[in-house]
Structure 1
Amino acid sequence: MRFGVRQFELSLMHRMRDLNPTRVEQALLVMDASRAELRAAHAQWTRMLHSPRAPKTLRPLLGRPAYEGTTAVGSLTCGVSRWALPSWPGLEFEVLSGPGGETWNQWFVRPGGPKALSFTELAPWSCVVADVGASFPGAVHQEGQAPHHWAVDFEHGGATYRARFVYGLCQRVDAR
């Protein structure tokens, strides 16, 4: 099976199932994809990640990025590549790569920077980590409980909440 945009989206969704299985099931219906196809895409992606012949970048798999550039991280200049994916309009999947081309971080971002959102706008699959930080001053970032998971604790209306993310994409918001 050729690995392309569809398979990449499915491999991302495989990890998203950890926190939002209902949303992933809805997406599978929209994509006319089965759970077996989801598992196969994830297995293929995992094999490719551990293969010595695997491509160093996503370009051979996803095509030309919507954006390519560089950014400074401390004294290093790092590469930034972003791809627009059909299942997440308005957001882009960003890969930050080190000077040797190795992937340092990969997650969803909002092109043009974070957007200030109201509490009710924190809907699954519509916002990213930076949006929550921009929307709720004093937000505290936390490591997630599994690979590619992230959490942000924040206050709203006198209560504490935790927004949970996979690949930087909001999956759910829970009262603490």
Structure 2
Amino acid sequence: MPSAKRPASSSGRFTPLDFQLVLLRRMADHNGDLVEAARHELGVSIADMREANKRWQAMLRSPRSRAAVSRYRSVLGEPESVISRRIGDLECEALCWPVPLWPDLRFEVMVAPNGVVWNEWLVRAPDSAAPELRTLEDLTPWSCTVDEAARAFAPARPLEGTAPTRFGLAFTAPDAGGVRRECVAEFTWGLLQRVAVDG
């Protein structure tokens, strides 16, 4: 966990702890109880979480806003890893930072050759075991990432999210009785939030 429990003041530097509060703020719409437990674990108030989100939004909208990669480096420090990845014909870089609230995950920023960030979300850390996803009952909130659900229940169809940090997947998965059901899973910052089952 972070050594400093309290987030930076509004006049101070935006810290990695503040950034975790931004992630949580977006997840509160779907899983208030999990966010509440995480907030207590971090030792912060609802007001702290709102203030961190307000400052983050101000940073994004400022006319003097840094490029996305520079902003993440200024807030989170140097990435833990930088990995080259080929997406089709495009050679990209994946920058990853640890997230103390979720030790088994990393915050990944995908950067195109021209420096433009085209994806920002949570992924499984390379040395952490992926969850076993076999049925709908395994798809509990915060249990898996987009990539893990897509692999477990292939073929999955990506869906446009309802907000910039949200993402959806449509797929078929068996329930506990083995009946295959049509599902739509919703993710925030790449982490599963809820699953809607047709019928």
TM normalised by structure 2 equals 0.80
> 1:133 pairs with 138, 150, 166, which one?
150
Instruction: Tell me which residue corresponds to 1:163.
Output: 185
Quote how far apart the aligned CAs of 1:48 are: 1.3
Alignment check: 8 A CA contact 1:114 1:131 kept: no
Q: Render the CA deviation track for 1:11-58: whole Å, top value 9, x for unaligned.
A: 111111222222212211111111111111111111112232435421
Say yes or no: does 1:11 pair with 2:25: no
Unaligned stretches of 5+ residues in structure 1: none
Q: Secondary structure at the match of 1:12?
A: helix
Q: Is the 8 A contact 1:78 1:97 kept in 2?
A: yes
1:34 maps to which residue?
A: 45
Coordinate RMSD, CA, aligned = 2.0
- Confirm or deny that 1:2 pairs with 2:18: no
* 1:76 lines up with 2:90 in the alignment: yes
- How far apart are the structure 1 equivalents of 2:144 and 2:117? 23
Report the Cα distance in structure 2 between the residues aligned to 1:69 and 1:137, rounded to whole angstroms: 25
Q: Which residue of 1 aligns with 2:73?
A: 59
Name stretches of at least 5 consecutive residues in structure 2 with no aligned partner. 1-11
- Which piece of structure 1 moves more, 138-147 or 78-87? 138-147
Return the TM-score normalized by structure 1. Answer: 0.89
Residue 46 (1) aligns with residue 39 (2): no
Give the distance between the partners of 1:28 and 1:42, measured in 2 at CA: 14
Structure 1 residues 173 and 53: CA distance shift in structure 2, 3 A: closer
Provide closer, same or farther for how the CA distance between residues 123 and 134 of structure 1 changes in structure 2, counting only shifts above 3 A: same
